[in-house]
Amino acid sequence: MEMFNYFGEEGKDLIVSSLILHDGRKFGNTEGMHTLAEHPIIQAFSMENNTEINNILPKDQFETICDNIKSHMGAWNTAPRSNKEIMPKPKGKMQNFVHLVDYIASRRCLEMNFDTEIRREEN
């Protein structure tokens, strides 16, 4: 996780916050059963329009989190039927990092042995 240290303490906090919040509206504004392609935009829009939330952090930090959320889908940023681009692709190292972490977490074929990783860090 050395690459994570590149972002500094504030950057790490913004990344973790983005990852916690990024799928908050995965089913839109309802309790549906299917992920909506545009869920990142719905989540960011709902945060931007909630004055209780968007006044908690300094404006630049809040915008960074929203931008990370909007772009977390990476290349999968198009509408399913029209193939029209509906979300931005990641720009910059932080947005790309958030996308990569989300992508890795979504892979069912990856297996992580945490015992081995912990022992490796202890040595």
2-41 pLDDT per residue, tens: 666 788 899 999 999 999 998 888 877 777 777 888 889 9
pTM of full prediction above 0.85: no
Number of domains in the chain: 1
Q: How far is CA 8 from CA 2, 18, 56, 99, 110, in A?
A: 11, 15, 21, 18, 28
Calculate the dihedral angle through the C-alpha atoms of 40, 44, 50, 56, rounding to the nearest 10 degrees.
120
- Dist. CA 46–CA 96, nearest whole Å: 22
Contact residues for 55 (Cβ-Cβ < 8 A; gap 6+): none
Give the residue numbers spanning the domain of 96: 2-122
Per-residue model confidence as pLDDT tens digits over 83-103 = 899 999 999 999 999 999 999
